[in-house]
């Protein structure tokens, strides 16, 4: 356990993720604060109140003095600097460039100390945010050259050449994909179907086992149709660019339910400018020929069939109650039904897996040749069963994520896939990232729109988090639906009213 003591300015939220990147297996305690399992806004934090710290990090962030001390066992390192002359007067103000500058400086000093003490070099340097490409894209839009952006990532964030190049490559791709889509006059729609055939070990979504919740499906669809009808009236002046139906697993719906849902969407929204309609057909054990035909006939342009791994032992361990054969059959059936844009999701760092297992998975994927491949790095979230049962799976913890990621990078490069979107999450194995690779022209546009927070995305269904984008600014406001299916059904009018209220107040700025 690490104890962090901060005197002066409150940079706890900025410091914590960087410290965690160096010590992923340690919990963190902030000295002088009540330890609890709930973090700010109920987010994940990892305190274990009973533990005794064996590492101490102390930061003095005073206007006239800056000092960091790190102590572990016999080893103690300290750095002190008087930089009152250098410190701009506005560094205390939230959201100002000066505050960002100070934070980045603090990160670099902390990074230098922790890297020196541990010998660990982080490929992303001090970049701990979710969307590292956002900055690269902003700089491309300001007409900065590749070299200037690379220099900025290196000096400001100590980011490795490899990750910097990846970021720029993705940002260039995003720039092309977003060309002509103005935030002011466009929007997208997300629709969630929160049912799954079984619940995976690592799942942190609000997903419900179909077996137990079957009776809720029809009432859920009734409520959802009501919300879809309302959503169709929200932006008569804007162009609908993409629709994404995810979950859960939308293909847990029967073929008839799926057809009714897709038709409801078609009769509600104007498809004139629609560029993409994705449906996640995630779990092969939910896919049938009838459903694939419905998706094709109703005009869905992109589907996703997600193996996560092609190792049977892994599928069994993570609670996906299907075989690798079923994955292959579902994929070939989808091709037979005319689906010409199929994504497959993989997860690296899955419990019990080695780099050799991932290479084996890639060999199987190569036989299917999906149009895009999304490679996720396992991130254990607080809500996941894997987190609660961590002790039980400790021995099986995967430790070769870097090698796995590099196998995926080599495979995609050799086979004509290009990286087109990228994001990071907290607690990712080896501090890596999630990357979407696609054959040219087969990218998932919605993924880019949501990652770059490019325009408003109306999110419908339980757990939906609508992101209202204030056109021409970086401001984004969320309006959330309740997570529980039961509450969603009972309180659908309130969910609609929440969005209506927001649009009534801020519609002119969107």
Binding site for ligand SF4 (CB under 6 A): 196, 199-200, 203, 205, 207, 247-249, 282-283
CB of 282 to ligand SF4, least distance (A): 5
Q: Where are the alpha helices (DSSP H) in 337-384?
A: 355-368
Nearer to ligand SF4, 123 or 247 (CB): 247
CB of 437 to ligand SF4, least distance (A): 20
CB of 197 to ligand SF4, least distance (A): 8
Nearer to ligand SF4, 247 or 464 (CB): 247
Residue 318: which residues within 8 A CB-CB, separation 6 or more? Answer: 200, 201, 202, 308, 309, 350, 351
Nearer to ligand SF4, 385 or 491 (CB): 385
With 0-12 / 13-18 / 19 or more C-beta atoms within 10 angstroms meaning exposed / middle / buried, residue 267 is exposed
CB of 199 to ligand SF4, least distance (A): 4
Euclidean distance between CA atoms 233 and 494, whole angstroms? 16
CB of 19 to ligand SF4, least distance (A): 29
Nearer to ligand SF4, 247 or 349 (CB): 247
Summarize the chain as % helix, strand, coil (round to 5). Answer: 45, 20, 35
Q: Which residues of 428-464 are buried (b: 16+ CB within 10 A; e: fewer)?
A: bbbbbbbbbbbbeebbbbbbbbbbbbbbbbbbbbbbb
CB of 257 to ligand SF4, least distance (A): 17
Determine the distance from the C-alpha atom of residue 229 to the mean position of all C-alpha atoms in its chain, rounded to a whole number.
28
Q: Using alpha carbons only, what angle is made at residue 203 by residues 488 and 120, rounded to the nearest 5 degrees? A: 135
CB of 109 to ligand SF4, least distance (A): 39
CB of 1 to ligand SF4, least distance (A): 30
DSSP 447: H
CB of 313 to ligand SF4, least distance (A): 17
Give the CA distances from residue 118 to residues 15, 111, 144, 289, in Å, rounded to whole numbers and listed in that order: 17, 10, 35, 54
Nearer to ligand SF4, 153 or 423 (CB): 423
- The answer to whether the beta carbons of residues 179 and 232 sit under 8 Å apart is no
CB of 249 to ligand SF4, least distance (A): 5
Q: Which residues of 385-423 are buried (b: 16+ CB within 10 A; e: fewer)?
A: bbbeeeeebeeeebebbbbbbebbbebbeeeebbbbbbb
Q: Where are the alpha helices (DSSP H) in 3-78?
A: 12-22
Nearer to ligand SF4, 123 or 444 (CB): 444
For residue 433 the two structure tokens come to 């990232």
CB of 234 to ligand SF4, least distance (A): 27
Euclidean distance between CA atoms 329 and 279, whole angstroms? 18
Nearer to ligand SF4, 123 or 370 (CB): 370
Of all residues in this chain, which one has the CB nearest to ligand SF4 in the complex? 203
Contacts by 327-332, CB closer than 8 A, 24 or more apart? 327/284, 328/364, 328/367, 328/368, 329/284, 330/281, 330/284, 330/287, 330/305, 331/284, 331/305, 331/368, 331/370, 332/368
Nearer to ligand SF4, 186 or 372 (CB): 372
Nearer to ligand SF4, 123 or 248 (CB): 248
- The answer to whether the beta carbons of residues 477 and 502 sit under 8 Å apart is yes
Nearer to ligand SF4, 175 or 324 (CB): 324
CB of 394 to ligand SF4, least distance (A): 21
For residue 149 the two structure tokens come to 């952006």
Nearer to ligand SF4, 207 or 412 (CB): 207
* Dihedral over alpha carbons 319, 322, 323, 327 (to 10 degrees): -120
Nearer to ligand SF4, 248 or 461 (CB): 248
Give the CA distances from residue 285 to residues 185, 324, 351, 372, in Å, rounded to whole numbers and listed in that order: 39, 10, 21, 21
């Amino acid at each position: 356990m690490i104890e962090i003591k901060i005197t002066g300015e409150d940079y706890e939220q900025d410091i914590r993720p960087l410290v965690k990147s160096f010590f992923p297996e340690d919990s963190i305690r902030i000295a002088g604060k009540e330890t609890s399992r709930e973090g700010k806004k109920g987010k994940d934090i990892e305190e274990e109140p009973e533990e005794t710290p064996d590492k101490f990090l102390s930061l003095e962030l005073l206007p006239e003095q800056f000092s960091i001390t790190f102590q572990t066992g016999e080893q103690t390192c300290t750095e002190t600097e008087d930089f009152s002359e250098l410190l701009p007067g506005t560094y205390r103000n939230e959201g100002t460039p000066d505050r960002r500058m100070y934070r980045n400086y603090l990160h670099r000093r902390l990074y230098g100390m922790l890297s020196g003490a541990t010998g660990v070099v982080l490929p992303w340097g001090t970049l701990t945010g979710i969307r590292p490409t956002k900055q690269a894209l902003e700089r491309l839009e300001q007409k900065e050259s590749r070299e200037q952006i690379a220099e900025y990532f290196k000096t400001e964030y100590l980011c490795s050449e490899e990750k910097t190049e990846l970021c720029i490559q993705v940002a260039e791709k995003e720039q092309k994909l977003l060309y002509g889509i103005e935030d002011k006059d466009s929007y997208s729609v997300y629709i969630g179907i929160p049912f799954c055939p079984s619940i995976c070990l690592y799942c942190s979504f609000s997903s419900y086992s179909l077996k137990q919740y079957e009776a809720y499906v029809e009432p859920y669809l009734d409520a959802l149709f009501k919300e879809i009808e309302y959503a169709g009236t929200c932006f008569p002046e804007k162009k609908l660019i993409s629709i994404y139906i995810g979950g859960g697993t939308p293909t847990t719906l029967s073929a008839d339910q799926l057809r009714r849902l897709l038709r409801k969407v078609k009769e509600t929204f104007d498809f004139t400018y629609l560029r993409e309609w994705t449906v996640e057909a995630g779990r092969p054990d939910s896919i049938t020929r009838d459903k694939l035909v419905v998706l094709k006939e109703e005009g869905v342009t992109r589907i996703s069939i997600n193996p996560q791994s092609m190792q049977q032992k892994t599928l069994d361990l993570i609670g996906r109650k299907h075989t690798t054969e079923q994955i292959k059959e579902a994929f070939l059936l989808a091709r037979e039904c005319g689906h010409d844009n199929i994504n497959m999701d993989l997860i690296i760092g899955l419990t019990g897996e080695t780099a050799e297992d991932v290479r084996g998975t890639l060999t199987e994927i190569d036989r299917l040749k999906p149009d895009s491949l999304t490679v996720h790095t396992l991130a254990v979230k607080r809500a996941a069963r894997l987190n609660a049962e961590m002790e039980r799976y400790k021995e099986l913890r995967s430790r070769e994520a870097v090698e796995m990621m590099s196998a995926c990078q080599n495979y995609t490069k050799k086979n004509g896939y290009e990286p087109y979107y990228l994001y990071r999450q907290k607690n990712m194995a080896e501090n890596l990232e999630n990357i979407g690779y696609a054959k040219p022209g087969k990218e998932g546009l919605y993924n880019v729109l949501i990652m770059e927070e490019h325009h408003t995305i109306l999110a419908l269904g339980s757990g939906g988090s609508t992101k209202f984008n204030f056109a021409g600014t970086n401001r984004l406001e969320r309006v959330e639906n309740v997570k529980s299916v039961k509450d969603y059904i009972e309180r659908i009018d309130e969910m609609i009213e929440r969005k209506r209220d927001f649009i009534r107040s801020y519609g002119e700025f969107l």
